[in-house]
Amino acid sequence: MSEAGNRSFVFMRKKRTRKKHKGYFLMIVPNKKGKINSVNIPYLVFVSFFVVMAINVYYLARYPFRISEIWKLEYHIFELRQVIAKQDKELRRLDPCLKSTQAMASKLNATNQFFADMELEYDRLRNKRTGEKTLAYREVYLPGYRLSSADQDHSKLEVLNSNLNYLEEELKFTSSALDGLLSKYQTYDRQLDFIPTIWPLARERRISSGYGYRRHPVHKRVMLHQGIDIPARTGTPVRATAEGQVTIAGTRGGYGLLVEINHGNGYRTRYGHNSRLAVRVGQRVKKGQIIAYVGNTGTSTGPHVHYEVRLNNVPVDPTPFLN
């Protein structure tokens, strides 16, 4: 190193040393006669004091803003706790909701079993043969889920949503199937309106003479009795056993006062020996409507109604229709 450089280095070192040893006197002067005290404050202590003061002033200046932020955070935490409490209250309802879905599944199974039974009954009524004695119903099956306190609420919610989605699809299927079954029964019920399936008298159910060959009580010889005789008091209302149009309403030989109704599909019914009539030829009548009154006209030994069922104009036994 050159001599000039050594001199510069020594000078800088002395300067730093002087600055380092530099200090301040703090003089304490009393407000009355007395000794003046002084305190020597080193330079580093003096600088450190002001640094600490600056730091304190900085943090003191920021303190109100920090307090405001803390209050905002505490209020936000309070709101979140309220939301959590509300959610907890709602989540506690999951367990009974899950049980309700199981109960709904059981009711759906009962409804589907009813649907299967009614399908079989419909086939029986329409005289359709089924390949099996019982019709398997569509079983609704929800996955078995045992409620436990260890389960997490979000997992229960997933199961509940899954159950509800499954039940929604099953409800649509069952509802559609029941609507179809109801439509078939309504159609069949309308068809039954034109089939003689009720008794011609509302209360009397005793048959004094059935369908088939018998010894005629007046002619005293064996003849085919083409209907059944139901005894009743004179004037008892006679009703149509099916809907149709009146084709005969008047006196017809041994029938006496006779009413004949054409029901369509080859079905006709006759009501004989009436005392008076309540319909005319060409009139349309409803099932159960009063068409005449019991009497003893024509070839008869007492007041009764002679009731016939004809299929394609051939007399058939009316008894199966009454059952």
What gap in Å lies between CA 163 and CA 104, rounded to an integer?
10
What gap in Å lies between CA 54 and CA 99, rounded to an integer?
67
CA angle 128, 129, 134 (to 5 degrees): 115
* pLDDT confidence of residue 260: 97
Q: Is the pLDDT of residue 189 over 70?
A: yes
Q: Is the pLDDT of residue 129 over 60?
A: no
Over the stretch 33-43, which tens digit does the pLDDT of each residue have? 777 777 777 77
The model scores a pTM over 0.75: no
Q: Is the pLDDT of residue 31 over 70?
A: yes
Cross-strand bridge partners of residue 290: 239
* pLDDT confidence of residue 144: 61
Chain length of the chain: 323
CATH number of 212-322, picked from 2.40.128.50, 2.70.70.10, 3.30.70.260, 1.10.3470.10: 2.70.70.10
Q: Quickly state the pLDDT bin for 240 (edges 50, 70, 90).
A: very high
Query: What share of the chain has pLDDT > 70, as a percent?
Result: 82
DSSP one-letter code for 295: B
* pLDDT confidence of residue 14: 58
* pLDDT confidence of residue 36: 74
Q: Among 64-73, 90-99, 235-244, 298-307, where is mean pLDDT lowest?
A: 90-99
What gap in Å lies between CA 31 and CA 82, rounded to an integer?
64
Question: Chain-centre distance of CA 34, in angstroms?
Answer: 103
Tokens 């997992």, located at residue: 155
Mean pLDDT of the chain: 82
Name residues whose C-beta falls within 8 Å of residue 136's C-beta, 6 or more positions apart in sequence: 116
Residue type, 276: R
DSSP one-letter code for 217: T
The encoded tokens of residue 147 equal 């409620």
Q: What mean pLDDT is predicted for residues 229-234? A: 95
The encoded tokens of residue 229 equal 């005789």
Higher-scoring residue by pLDDT: 91, 250: 250
* pLDDT confidence of residue 102: 82
Higher-scoring residue by pLDDT: 155, 197: 197
Give the domain ranges of the chain. Answer: 1-91, 94-192, 212-322
